[in-house]
Amino acid sequence: MPGNRVGVCGEFFKGWYIAMPERCKIVVVCGPTATGKSDLALGLARAFSGEMVGADSMQVYAGLTVGTAALTAEMAGGVPQHLVGFLPPEQVFSVADYVRAAHEAIKEICARGRLPVVCGGTGLYIESLVKGLSFTEEKVPPETRAALAAEWEQAGGAAMLEKLAALDPEAAGTLHPNDKTRILRALEQVQHTGITKGKRAQRSLPAAPPYDALCIGLDFQERAALYAHINARVDDMMDGGLLPEAQRVYENRDSYKTAAQAIGYKEFFPYFAGEAPLDACVEKLKQATRNYAKRQLTWFRRMPDIHWLLREDAACEENARQMVASFLAGAE
């Protein structure tokens, strides 16, 4: 099997030949929801003796398989799966946590001589992983954030943006006064570390990407087809036991901080609160999922080097397999 070997190649540096490990090859399957990423990735993992690595901010949580459309161990049928369903829903998780854990998993898979197949729909996670962004251990204390949030309520966005402009004019110039999340984040960062957003971005980006990655994107030719699949999948989820899962999330919404904002649960909150009929919530869920798929598309379209495959194409899976085969065979 043409998996990864930790072979030895090297380069000449000031006349010295330095041995270094061969870059690890990974396959990435991305794209909007409901395009069949998981199935494709699973097929590739089977064909090339690979292991799955999730790249999904909500599938990391345990016990939320229906709503997040995560592969269960049975569905994976013996193919190892990493970073899926491993976290208690009470825990918060972040890109930084993800990237750290994913690098670890990939390293181990490569060491076993197997192929990591990264699969998921969270653009931020995938891009950060593939680019090899580094995040410091240090965290901003929650009090700082709380204080700034309180200040926002008093002063408003425009004032806070001005405040940011005094400390980090470059970042302030790129932000809109309504963009609360980013203004507050930029503020807490300069306040706490004294490092501006731009400087941070510069430092987090490595000289070269850490992996030799083949990115495969999945989409439908027609937007209408994507939306039709989304609608149908929501109906399938309802048949598959989404409601009880959503009720559990509803009852724990205060402790499931991140998980409670997942699409597929929060849309049912009005139903559980007795404020809306069930079918209205189902419609809302379909709507929210369509909106989300569109956002995912704008993220992935922007990423360079994605090889797009169309779901309508009967040879879609076959093409993917050939791409991976020649990727693994090719001298890097």
Partner RNA sequence: GCCUCUGUAGCUCAGUUGGUAGAGCAGUGGACUGAAAAUCCACGUGUCGUUGGUUCGAUUCCGACCGGAGGCA
Cβ nearer to RNA, comparing 252 with 258: 258
In the bound complex, what is the minimum distance in angstroms from residue 107's beta carbon to RNA? 19
In the bound complex, what is the minimum distance in angstroms from residue 170's beta carbon to RNA? 12
Q: Binding string to RNA for residues 166 to 185, with x set by CB under 7 A, is what?
A: ----------x-xxxxx--x
DSSP letters along 218-262, please?
EE-SSHHHHHHHHHHHHHHHHHTTHHHHHHHHHHTTTT-TTGGGS
Radius of gyration in angstroms for the set of CA atoms belonging to the chain, rounded to a whole number? 22
When asked if residue 221 is in the footprint of RNA (CB under 7 A), the reply is no
Q: What are phi and psi of 178, to 5 degrees?
A: -85, -10
Residue 215 forms beta bridges with which residues? 28, 306
In the bound complex, what is the minimum distance in angstroms from residue 50's beta carbon to RNA? 21
When asked if residue 158 is in the footprint of RNA (CB under 7 A), the reply is no
In the bound complex, what is the minimum distance in angstroms from residue 57's beta carbon to RNA? 3
When asked if residue 236 is in the footprint of RNA (CB under 7 A), the reply is no
Q: At what angle do helices 197-204 and 180-193 cross, to 10 degrees?
A: 80
CA 226 centroid distance within chain: 20
CA–CA dist 219, 312 (Å, integer): 9
- Name which position in 35, 38, 57, 196 contacts RNA (CB under 7 A): 57
268: which DSSP letter? Answer: G
Cβ atoms of 270 and 246 closer than 8 Å: no
How many residues of this chain bind RNA (CB under 7 A)? 64
Q: Which stretch binds RNA (CB under 7 A): 8-16, 125-133, 211-219, 269-277?
A: 125-133
Query: Which candidate, 267, 290, 321, places its Cα nearest to that of 35?
Result: 290
When asked if residue 147 is in the footprint of RNA (CB under 7 A), the reply is no
In the bound complex, what is the minimum distance in angstroms from residue 244's beta carbon to RNA? 16
When asked if residue 292 is in the footprint of RNA (CB under 7 A), the reply is yes
Q: Binding string to RNA for residues 261 to 290, with x set by CB under 7 A, is what?
A: xxxx----------------------xx-x
Identify the residue whose tokens are 């090719």. 330
Q: At what angle do helices 95-111 and 123-131 cross, to 10 degrees?
A: 60
Chain residues in the site for RNA (CB under 7 A)? 56-59, 67-70, 92-97, 121-125, 128, 133, 135-140, 145, 149, 176, 178-182, 185, 189, 197, 200-202, 204-205, 223, 227, 257-258, 261-264, 287-288, 290-292, 294-299, 301-302
